[in-house]
Structure 1
Amino acid sequence: MTGDKRPPSRQLAFSLPHDSAFGREDFVVSPVNAEAIAIIDGWPAWPERGLLLVGPAGSGKSHLTAIWADATGAARVAARRLGRDDAPALVAAGAVAVEDLHDGPVDEPALFHLVNTAAEQGARLLLTGRGGLATLPLKLPDLVSRLRAARSITLGEPDDDLLRRVLTKLFADRQLVVDAAVIDFILLRMERSLEAASLVVDRLDRDALAENRSITKRLAGEALSRMAETQGLLWDGED
């Protein structure tokens, strides 16, 4: 057919809302994260040399870390904030999560000391980052060797099925009745991440309440357009 070229679908980039639910009951299991959640749920059984959990932005690393920390009482620290004197206090918790290894700079001797101290004290380690070990900005050979010995699991990008189920659950958690066609409408226009799903639902909940409207395609389109104006717009489709 000619003269019927559709405009490209739009994709929005969002930040994670502060009140997002990170409990185990809030985690939606799918093939892209099943291996990771199985290990988290298997606590206190844990890889002796630690677990390295990697995946793209919005794949669920923070949620999985929160579930593990809740189950274990683990201390949590951003990799870039780790200092050389922090290891004893962190390891005292018996479990330590070091998050966002990709978000440097990282004090590599401090991280190496933490890994060694955890091994000496029998504390369990969870480390997270984007990309595999080879892509992380770590240069200290002994540290890289230690991390290479850890169990590594890669989270896949959320697929349509997972995002649809997450959107459906987030709406249901807020006691919002939203038609499946509206969810599919949102799915085509949002960033492909779990954080985006959470923020979209939060925005639509607030807009529907403020305007005393049901959540329809029209309301969703208006909300997504406003979010695009204030938070940036990405195109997903042909130029």
Structure 2
Amino acid sequence: PGDRLRSINWRASARRTGLVVNERHPDRNTDVVLFVDSFADLRDGNRSTLDDAVRASATLATRYLERRDRVGLVSFGGILRWLRPGLGPSQRFRLIETLLETGVAPTYIWRDVDLIPARILPPKALVIALTPLVDPRYVTTLQNLRARGFDLVVVEIDPVGLVEAGRNELERLAYRLWLLDREVLRSRLERLGVGIARWGDGVALESALEEVRTYRRYARVARV
């Protein structure tokens, strides 16, 4: 029950206080593509942004498969890995297996979304990006996906708790500017119609995923 994430009109929602959805018949067997950022991995002790992204992806995959949606995966970074959207328990096994193989391969190469076959990233798919939003190549790819008309939601694996605020005034100033840059980036994505749910220190994964669920559960129907 409730509105699917892909029914949200993110562009209209960005201009309003609440979320709005397009009026349409409910879709069945939606294509959902988990788009994992493997360009960068910020670590501190036992926490890793890539590990967090993999864990969140596995949870999302399970839930969408339970809804009988087709779920696929793209690991987008130095090494490209992908899995075509599919259904059922066997697809869940393949997704988990591919996620466990996901890692960061250092590279200076810029990747283009054109490298991904259409069968892997269907034109009407809901794309859920899992990313710390720190690598400009990945951010540019998100903007390109929106420009191509994809329904896009970002689960931000918040890296702020993994970055020191600085030991002197100059470093602390750089840290504050970095935080401001991140706010500007979020605002820019939201203006493009991208929904963002933040997950970081002190926030349970379930709480972040609840933000995603509320997009469809409590959205108001509006015509734009």
Normalised TM-score (structure 1) = 0.31
Structure with the largest fraction of helix: 1
Normalised TM-score (structure 2) = 0.33
Structure with the largest fraction of strand: 2
- Point out the structure with max Rg over C-alpha: 1
